[in-house]
Each structure stands twice: as structure tokens, then as C-alpha cells.
Amino acid sequence: MKKILTSCFEIDKLIQRFIAAWCGLNVFVMHQNPIPFTDIEYAFNVDVIDYAIVLFGLFGFLSVVQIAFPKRNTDSWAMSILFALFSSYLLTVRQDFWFCLSLIILAAIMLVFLLKDDKLSLGKIKIGNKLTVAIVAVMAFVVFSVIALLTCLRYATYSSPNFDFGLFVNMFHHMKETGLPITSSERDKLLSHFAVHISPIYYLLLPLYFIFPSPYTLQISQALVLAGGMLPLYLLAKHKGLSNKIIILLSVAYAFSPIIICGTSYDIHENCFLVPLLLWVFYFFEREKYLFMYIATFFVFCIKEDACLFIFFFGLFAVLSRKKYLHGIILAVVSVVYFVAAVSLLTHFGDGVLSNHYQNYMYEENGLIGMVRIILINPAYVFDQTLKVEKLNYIVYMLLPLGFMPLATRKVSHFILLLPFMLFNLMTSYVYQYSIDFQYNYGAITCMLYLFIINASELGERPRRYISSLAAVAAVMCSFVTSGTKLGAYITRYNESDISFAVMDSVLATIPDDASVKASTFLVPHIADRHEIYEVNSKNETDYVVFDMRPSLVHETDQLREYYFEMGYEVYEEAENHVLILKKPVSE
């Protein structure tokens, strides 16, 4: 008994026990205290005597548990669970990036302490292939459910604007009716979306839309596409020899990734296909299944005109890192040829290339050629534009939920796969491309996932275990202040105003399906399943004009409504503080 007591009261166990008791107590106190912990008054609203009594009571209880199970590391488990609970509670209250980062640093220190001597006895836990597949499948369901719920609620709460959801609803309506990707609200005229972006990949979703022709189908389809990335991720990790435990940690990091989930914050985009398709390219390359690799590459080209550039950098990686000269050169050359052809096609026959995303490289009339010249001749300017303070938290969000594993290598050639991140997300002055809330991150994060796997396969067991654990923990913690915040806000908005949204739905349903319409941007997606739909400030003449009359938005169209009344438009349908529909006067 003396030996057991001596073991149970070793200094490291006492410290873990105290931390566990302190975390558990603070969760309870924070929940009971009406004053938020961010207020200085919080501490003075807690009875110190009661606090101390309960603290040492919990400490004593945990001591009894450890004595009762001397061969179990109950202190380590108690500290881990209660710290996780305490951190989760803190992050639901204080949804701030830097606050989250400080907690992740504490979690990282704790992980090093716990994993060093396997204090949680995780090494004794055996996880078979079937259980691993089941857990990975659950993680895929998690990412699907969160994205589907987030985006469907966004649409249901009238939070999705014309750019970029209304135009895609209109495009799929045309695709269903005519087979052509025509939109009217994208460029304020009937025009093929392929004149703006060459994205035939959307046709993969058309059969599902035929069966369920609804905007919700598009949102759910995007969730399916991103959840589908879990399959090639698993196969790739398995092929590279990663253990089942590391694969599970990677799947958790993927499922809770703020980049994967928050990239859907502005509804469906073709970029979501980059995640599964690039992962299939990487997987077939590693398996030396080159025919399938080229088929997957073809589908990557179908995503968007610039998607081929990810294949270009991968081709360079194949040549310089893997010495696969033939396939690497083919991939790189074909990518350049396709990109030049696609850009030329858009320039001469389409609506042009969005080079304004790189306005900081546009000098006079030199265009993309001038940009290449700047990169080659003045790299200092490139670094100046890339490494800016406002991009720091974005860089951390990209790398921290992966445990910085993409950087954990001595092979310089691996960093080729980070060049797309620099090109697409850091070099630009277009703020949306270095924000986690937009779709521009999917190609870069997929390259990083590949780097995670190949770097992890080359690391020793201990650093691989540390970094993978940090990745999973950081991803989950980051999700509290990113996707968790967004999801909570949409759920609250829907629950508080569900009747209002139902009223808006019923009023908008009165507009004839064959009528041409102009509407406020957040109304467009709800009435875009028609031949012609435009934003409310369009110069096109339409049968109906629909105004968003919600108090927070009504002032934006005051003058425009007055103009239409002066033009003789009459009230067709109205729901006060919700929607106003005006009908064009009948010509005499």
C-alpha cells in the first residue's frame, strides 16, 4: 500500500491532478457565473472560500480514483479530458483567432508531455483496419454533415447572394432545360458561364440536379464532393505505410479543417472538386497507375482554366523529387499548353481572364506576360507582396491544423508543392484569395495534405506521432472559432426568424415561373430557376422587380424603389419588412 501511495503522489501526477481539478472546476464556475470571463469583474463575483473548497475536493476525488486504479494513468486521462472540455468551453465564449492559438500552444505542450512516455497508454491500444475504415467513414460523414448544414442554412436564411450562388442556380436551371451553362445574372445578360470560367466539371452534378432540381441539391452536392476527398486521402495514406492511428488523426484533421469547411462559406464553387480529384491524381501517381492518373488529370482540367497550374507544379515535383521524368514532363507541358489555350479562348471569345486578382503585378498593358517578367526579374517585389502582416493569421490557419507537417522535411524538392499556395493565395492583392472563407484555398490545401502524407511517411515514429496529434487537436480547436461560429450563427438566425423566411418563400412563389425578374441580391437565388433573372440594379427591362425589405437592407434600394413607382410600376405582392414585388405596367 505504501508503494501505491508513493506512486500516486509523485510530483508529475500531483501537477496533472491539480490541472485536471482546476480545469473541471472552472468549467462549472464559468457556466454559473453571469459575468463573462473576459470581464475583470468575473473573479470578484466568485466566492474564494467556496472555490478553494471545491478545488481541493475535486483534487481529493481524483486522488482517490488514482489510488483505486494504481496501474491506470487516471491523472493523465483526467487532465486531457478536462483540459479539452475547458478549452472547448472557452472557445465557445471567446471566438478569437489569437486566443485560440494560445490554447493550441498550451495543448501542444501538454501533448509533448503526455506522448513522451506514453502516459495515456495509447501504444497498448490496437486499432485494426476495419475499425480504421469505420472511423474514417464517420469523419467523412462529419465533414459532409457540417458543410451541408452550414450551406443549406445559409440559403434558407436568405444569406446567399447572387454572387456566387444565384448565378449558379440560374445556370443549373438552364443546364436542366437546355443542356447549356447559360446565366443571366452573372454578367447582366444571357451568357454562357464558360465565357467567364471554363468549368465543364459542373456537368457531373447535373444528373443529381435533374432528379432533385433545387438549390439545396447544389449545396448538398458540394458537401458530397468534399466528403468524397476522404477516400483517396485514406488510400494514399495507407499506400504510404502510415499506421492506422496516424490515418485516424489525419482524417480528424481533414474533417475539422477550417479550410475544407469554411471554403464553402460563399456557397458552391467548382473549386471544391480540386480536393478529391487532385488527391486521386496523387494516389494514382504513387501507385504508378498512370492511365488513371491521366484520367484524373483530365477531370482536374475540367474544373477551371487555372486548375491545370496545380498539375503543372505537380509535374515539376514528379521530375525534381521523384525523378519520374517522362510523366512529370508530360504533365507540366500539357498543363502549360492547356492554360495558354484556355486563357486565349477566354480573352478572344469569352469575357476575359480575371487578372485583376493580381492587380499588384499589372503594369501598364503588359498583363500576365508582365507578371511573369516581374516574378523572374524582381523576386524581391514578389516576397514583399507575399509576406505581409495581414496574411499571417491566414498562413497559420492553413498550416496549424496540419501540424505544420507540410514543412517537416529536409527535401527541398518537396517545397515545390507549396508554390501553388504562394502563387494562388499569397502573391495576390485580392483579399478573398487569402481568406479561409472562400473557395480559393482548395488547391493549396490539397497539395498540403499530400505533403502531410509523404512527409509523415519519411519521419521517425515519435515526431510523426507528435505532429499528427497536434494537427488533429489544432483542427478541432480551430473549428470552434471558424466553422463552429458560422454554424451557430446560422442556426440562431434560422430559429429566430423561421416564420419570416417562410413568409418570404410564400411571397416569392407568387411570381410566375416564365416571367423575367430583377431582384435584390439575397433574393436572386430563391427565384433564379427561370430563363431571365438579374440583380435589382440591372439595366434590363423585366416583368417584375423584387426588393428585399428587411430592415437591415431596405435602405439600399430607397431611391430605386422610388424610381420604379415613378415609372408606373405597381405593387404586385408585399410582405411588410420582408419583400416587395413590383409589376411592370401594361403597355396601352
Whole-model pTM?
0.94
DSSP type of residue 587 = P
Q: Using alpha carbons only, give the angle 430, 435, 437 rounded to the nearest 5 degrees.
A: 125
Q: Are strands 517-519 and 191-192 parallel, antiparallel or unpaired?
A: unpaired
- How many Å from the N-terminal Cα to the C-terminal Cα in the chain? 103
CA distances from 1 to 6, 12, 65, 126, 514 (A): 9, 20, 15, 32, 85
Q: How many residues does the chain have?
A: 588
For residue 238, give every residue at least 6 positions away whose Cβ sits within 8 Å of its Cβ, in sequence order, or none.
Answer: 247
Q: Grid coordinates 498539375 are at which residue?
A: 311
Q: Grid coordinates 434600394 are at which residue?
A: 557
Q: What are phi and psi of 237, to 5 degrees?
A: -65, -40
290-301 and 308-320 are packed helices; what angle lies between their axes, rounded to 10 degrees?
Answer: 150
- What sign does the dihedral 17-18-23-26 (CA atoms) show? positive
In this structure, what C-alpha cell is assigned to residue 237? Answer: 495514406
Each of the 588 residues of the chain gets a pLDDT tens digit; together they read 666 667 777 888 899 999 999 999 999 999 889 998 888 999 999 999 999 999 999 999 999 998 888 878 899 999 999 999 999 999 998 889 999 999 999 999 999 999 988 889 888 889 999 999 999 999 999 999 999 999 999 999 999 999 989 999 999 999 999 999 999 999 999 999 999 999 999 999 999 999 999 999 999 999 999 999 999 999 999 999 999 999 999 999 999 999 999 999 999 999 999 999 999 999 999 999 999 999 999 999 999 999 999 999 999 999 999 999 999 999 999 999 999 999 899 988 877 665 567 888 877 766 677 888 888 888 888 888 888 888 999 999 999 999 999 999 999 999 999 999 999 999 998 899 999 999 999 999 999 999 999 999 999 999 999 999 999 999 999 999 999 999 999 999 999 998 999 999 999 999 999 999 999 999 999 999 999 999 999 999 999 999 999 999 999 999 999 999 999 999 999 999 999 999 999 765
Q: Which residues pair with 533 in a beta bridge?
A: 517
pLDDT the model gives residue 355? 58
